[in-house]
Amino acid sequence: MRFLLLILLLLGFVPVLSATVLVPAEFREIVSGSQIIVHGRVSDVRAEWIDGRRRIESVITLEASSFYRGTSAGTVTFRVPGGQIGRYKSVTVGAPEFKAGDEVVLFLKARGPSVPQVFGLNQGVFRVQVDQRTGRRTVSQPIVMARGITPQPVLRGAPDRQPLPLDQFATQIRSVLQGGAR
């Protein structure tokens, strides 16, 4: 295996992924597995004890600007593991942290009356960044497999993996929701 990785490294084929120990999702799985897909800005972060003061979670409020799927209320509330109460801070490795003002596109799992949570711990968080040069708002390009082809390595440093403008990302989400490829 080391030999394989070494060859890939030397050929320029060495990529990565995300959090703690995850079963990574392809973008279509993230879309189809999320009941709420929303773009907006975090307005409040509140840590609280849950489950009879057994652990700390943070409840995040997002001021929504666009909904791609699910409810169209003005705000969305969701929860993430961890948070700080008083002098104690609970940290879960790989769990996303938010602060007021963060602009994000979120893919949330919402089951029944419970507070939604981020798809795949952190796989459903796409943070919006502003390109300093052009002023365009972008997100990291999601990993999408073209339909009907053989397995393809995910190449790190590939020239075509550029930050994706937000409007194109929205188009991509809608395309997946409608069953399109990209």
Partner 1 sequence: MKRLLTLLATLACVAITTEPASAYLKLGTRVGSGTVNLRWEDFPVRYFITNTAGGGVSATQLRQAVDRAFANWTAVETASISAEFAGFTQARPNDDDGLTVIGFVNLPDQDRTLGATSFLVDTVSGEIVEAEIYLNSFFSWSVASAGEANRFDVESIALHEIGHLFGLGHSALGETELRSGGRRVLAAEAVMFPVAFSAGSTAGRTLRADDIAGISEIYPSSVYRRERGSISGRITKSSQGVLGAHVVAFNLRTGKLVGGFSLNEDGSFVIAGLEPGAHALRVEPLDDGDVESFFDLTLNIDVNFRAKFHDRVVVVPRGGGTGDVQIRVQPK
- Between 160 and 178, whose beta carbon lies closer to partner 1? 160
101 lies in the site for partner 1, by CB under 8 A: no
Count CA within 13 A, CB hemisphere, residue 172.
Answer: 20
- Buried b / exposed e over 69-84, threshold 16 CB at 10 Å, is bbeeeeebebbbbbbe
d(CA 147, CA 182): 9
Which is nearer to partner 1, 46 or 89 (by Cβ)? Answer: 89
In terms of Cα–Cα distance, which of 104, 123, 122 is closest to 166?
104
Instruction: Work out how close the CB of 169 gets to partner 1 at its nearest, in angstroms, rounded to a whole number.
Output: 15
By the rule CB under 8 A, 43 interacts with partner 1 = no
| Structure token digits, residue 152 | 């393809």
Does 22 help bind partner 1 (rule: CB under 8 A)?
yes
Residue 165 engages partner 1 in binding (rule: CB under 8 A)? no
Determine if 48 is a binding residue for partner 1 (CB under 8 A): no
Only segment of 60-68, 69-77, 119-127, 165-173 that touches partner 1 (CB under 8 A): 119-127
Tell me how far, at minimum, the Cβ of 65 lies from partner 1, in Å: 20
Q: Is position 25 an interface residue for partner 1 (rule: CB under 8 A)?
A: yes
Does residue 70 interact with partner 1 by CB under 8 A? no
Residue written as tokens 């990993």?
143
Closest CA to 44 of 33, 29, 26, 58: 58
User: Whose Cβ is closer to partner 1: residue 4's or residue 178's?
Assistant: 4
CB 39 within 8 A of CB 64: yes
Q: Which stretch binds partner 1 (CB under 8 A): 40-48, 58-66, 151-159, 171-179?
A: 151-159
